[in-house]
A and B are shown apart, each in its own frame.
Chain A
Amino acid sequence: MRGTKFVRTRAIVAIVTAFLFVAAACGGDEESVSEAQRSTGPIKIWYSNNPEEIEWGKQVVNAWNKEHPDEEVTGQEIPAGETSEEVIAAAITAGNTPCLVFNTAPAAVPQFDRAGGLVNLAEFEDGVSYIEERSGDRAAQYGYPEGEYNQMPWKANPVMIFYNKDLFKKAGLDPENPPLATYDEFLAASQALVDKGGVQAAIWPAPSSEFFQSWFDFYPMFIAQTGSGQLVEDGQAQFNNEDGVAVAEFWRQMYEEGLAQQETYNGDAFADQKSAMATVGPWAIAVYGEDIDWGVSPVPTQDGIAPEETYTFSDEKSIGMYTSCENQGTAWEFLKYATSEENDGLFLEISGQMPMRTDIIGTYSEYFEKNPEYEVFAEQAERTVEVPMVSGSIEMWQEFRNAYSASVIFREEDIQPAFDSAAETINGLVEEGS
């Protein structure tokens, strides 16, 4: 009887082992990189799911397909998910990414890269020259020091302070020249808006804990305050310096005095006029423009600096080429086609977002003459800073967000020790990944 049980157990173990081997063998074979880069044929691409980008994507794909019947491009929206980054990460693991994703967040690039999901565009013969000629000096923020470009900088939404002129008037503030340049001015204006403007908060950045939320409260102001500094530079966290703490103290005061809210607003607080300001990019003009009499101002700094010297966060999205792509030759040609001067112009016209190319105002002067309200964003787009390209980028941002939530939004800790502790952890993460 014991013998029978033993045989049965062995049989079960053998079946399970065989199953595990089969599962492991499903990893697939690896195609030669250079061969894939030369290969042409049909490809798939994903673009963002907002109506403007869908419209642009369809037009560009249709135009390409008419000219290249043998290299047909199939475009679709990024499948629904909590964030695009999660969807792309899942697709990398499953090996079913499309050739190109026109919505790759720079902060996720190191993670995708570590997973072996991204093609180094610098390996294409004209890869580096094309990227750097199109984006100018800003391109350097999107590559690795070794000269790799695992993303193509595509479009930016430089973050500025968007405000509701009617609510400013109601609060007794000058809507044409709003006093928002310094922290003191911003706090005073915010107090007036809450006291007299009838809003629940002067500004309502999301107070939730997702790693990316700091890009729309702390980080633009940190960049402005430091005159184009990044969260991490040369492997060392920078946010626990005097400038970083000044920005954090400003926001802490906003929360402490009820000028910003600790609660998540279920909806769009700016659209619902529950807040009078928002940190947004040019996409906001199309979204709010018809219903709200709006104005725009650079992000404030402690003592105020000239708008033409103010830097901000780019809120940039790149184009990523993914390693599961079999026809990378076609993908590279389509990428260049979609980011040509003509198609960048079409993108600007349809979406109002700023292509990551030099001299946007000069190149598309006709557009800005017709749409002067976008010019301020175009000027700001020349002075943008990206998230640092470091390994463990998302983990780093989450670590920072946790410290920011604890010390600024919920005031459970003091800012300096919380930031010092987060900086130490982040320095360790960066060192580990380098």
Chain B
Amino acid sequence: MVDFLQMILSGIAVGSSYALMGLGMVLIYKASEVPNFVQGEMALLPVFVAYLLLESYGLPSYIAFPATLIFAMLLGCFLEFAILRRAKEPNVLGLIIITIGLEMMLIGIVSWKFGADQRAMPFPISSYDSIVIGDIFISTLDMLTLVAALIIMLILFLFFRYSKIGVAMKATQQNETAARLMGIKTNRLRMVTWGISSVVGCVAGLLVAPVLVEPYMMWDPMLKGFAGAVVGGMTSLPGAVFGAYIVGIVEQLFGGYVSIEFKSVVAFVVIVLVLCIRPSGLFARHYVKKV
């Protein structure tokens, strides 16, 4: 029983970073209707900027981290404004290829500028301390990730429900032409959505980084976050979070009870199963074929 509870808790802990990445992907999917494969690298580059600010410039973390989040916001806006928006008559496949190209480009920039060596990121809390509840452990970093994920979910919920920009974003996502006719600057809102998505991903990156900083560190969270988002339905923010936690927990249970060797691929088995049973994902309200 202790093992089972530990696996569930570990799954929730791991699922939190997947959830943040999944949220970022869903935000962009809703805005641009493209699975954003550059999501991981939109977090990676800011993480290396944070590393630079902390290690090379010696800035304290209370300055370096907010500065990093601002950089992430600008990066997301820049990518949408300078590259995605310039795509002429884009179809989904073309946009996917663009995001994959951007991913390669950003990872290349990071590898060129910072090298491929693994690094240790200074962080205000130790990534190796833990909280013990009976015989169950959760690391303080995992706890922080969990809390951060919950807070960001709450902020996004409030933002889309009550803020003017949030409502305008929702309107744009639902019917762009109508939104534009109502005077909403849809291009600008899409750019801001990319910025917000980049910030959410960056938070995940900063919480993954204390363990090890390396150019390929965001691949795993990005793929698992994508898996979670697909399970949840790609258009549902709570669905992405729920899906990410499902992926995290199933991974842990599979690793513990079935096969540790195939633990990392089980997320994709979950995707296949969900898509076979419910093609639009668990949380999508309805499936609409766009013509």
Are A and B bound to each other?
no
Binding site for A on B (CB under 8 A): none
